[in-house]
Every structure is written in C-alpha cells, then in structure tokens.
C-alpha cells in the first residue's frame, strides 16, 4: 500500500473516531515500520503519509502526545521522525542529510526524502473499501472506567486489517489472519 491509498483510509477512520468520540487529549503512535524499505515489509509508505495523517490530527487542536515506535530500517526511521518533528514544530528541514557519524547509512542519495520501493500493491480499490466498511461496521462504543474518565479509541486493529491481503488471495488465509489479528474488535480503550 502506498501513500495515496493509506492516507485517505486512515483519515476516514480518524474522521469517524472524531465524530463518535470527542477526546480531551490525544496520543498518536507513529510506528515507522510501514516505511518503504523496512524489513517488516507490510507497507510501501514514505514519511509524507505519516505527516499527512499527523497534520489531520493536529488540526483538531487538542493537546497531543506524538510517540515513535517500530521502524527497523534505522536511516528511514530517523528520516521519518525528523520530518514528523519538523511538522509538529511548523518547520521545514533541508533536503540534504547533514554530515554525521552514520552518514553512509543514508545513501545512495544522502537526502531526507524516502523513495517508494518496488513492492507491488496487492490491494484493489474494492478490497480497500470493503476493509474500511468492515472497520466501520464493528462500531465504536466508548466506555468509562471507574478509576479513569479518559476515553480513547484503539484503531490499530482497523489499521492492521487494512494491511491484510484481500479475501481474493485465499479465503482460508484471510480468515486465519483476521482471527490472528483480532479483527472482530475495533473497540475503544481507556
């Protein structure tokens, strides 16, 4: 999946969350293992996808804690988090990676932008729409804990679901992976 499919899907889920839950604060976990070139090999994203989703959240004008996680291609992870930090601070970074201890890891172009890899996108518009509708159909029912009043939304199951291959690639495998990832649970947590 590339930026042009990922960003609209994530923003649609987040928009639905915003309609249902009006959180007083947000925590945004930016797991960089969806970047092109990452050994996890699940997506084919550039940091632009992450920044567009983050900008969508920032426009809600809520106190927001942005965290990093994952990312197993160290140079691309550093590029992504540097870019996201600049977005949060309203700054623009230079294209060239500065001369630093691990400069050689940023080759062959030694620039901040991340290029798409050659990974084929196995998703169709129809399969993505079906997956997003599945997420919507699971409902978003917030609850309150007796010891905490903060309510949040756990969208990771829906995001993981978007990464799964479509049913067309093997119904049994699809059902197994859906069960493995607990995709019948798009629920809220505190």
d(CA 8, CA 170): 26
Q: Indicate the residue among 121, 147, 179 that finishes a domain.
A: 121
Containing structural domain, residue 153: 123-190
Q: Indicate the residue among 102, 121, 140 that finishes a domain.
A: 121
pTM of the model: 0.72
Q: Are 173 and 165 in contact (CB under 8 A)?
A: yes
Residues of the chain with pLDDT under 50: 142-190
Q: Are strands 64-69 and 152-153 parallel, antiparallel or unpaired?
A: unpaired
Residues 144 and 111 in one domain: no
The pLDDT of residue 149 is 39
The pLDDT of residue 140 is 52
Residues 97 and 50 in one domain: yes
The pLDDT of residue 139 is 60
């Amino acid at each position: 999946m590339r930026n042009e499919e990922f960003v609209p899907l994530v923003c649609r889920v987040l928009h639905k969350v915003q309609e249902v839950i009006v959180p007083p604060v947000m925590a945004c976990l930016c797991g960089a293992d969806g970047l092109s070139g990452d050994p996890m090999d699940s997506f084919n994203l550039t940091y632009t996808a992450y920044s567009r989703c983050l900008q969508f959240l920032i426009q809600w004008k809520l106190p927001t804690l942005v965290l990093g996680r994952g990312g197993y291609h160290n140079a691309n992870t550093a590029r992504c988090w540097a870019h996201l930090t600049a977005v949060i601070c309203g700054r623009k970074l230079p294209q060239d990676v500065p001369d630093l201890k691990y400069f050689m890891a940023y080759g062959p172009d030694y620039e901040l932008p991340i290029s798409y890899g050659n990974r084929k996108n196995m998703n169709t518009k129809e399969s993505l729409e079906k997956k997003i509708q599945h997420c919507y159909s699971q409902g978003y029912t917030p609850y309150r804990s007796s010891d905490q009043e903060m309510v949040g939304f756990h969208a990771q199951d829906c995001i993981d679901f978007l990464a799964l291959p479509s049913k067309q690639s093997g119904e049994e495998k699809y059902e197994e992976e859906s069960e493995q990832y607990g995709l019948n649970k798009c629920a809220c947590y505190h």
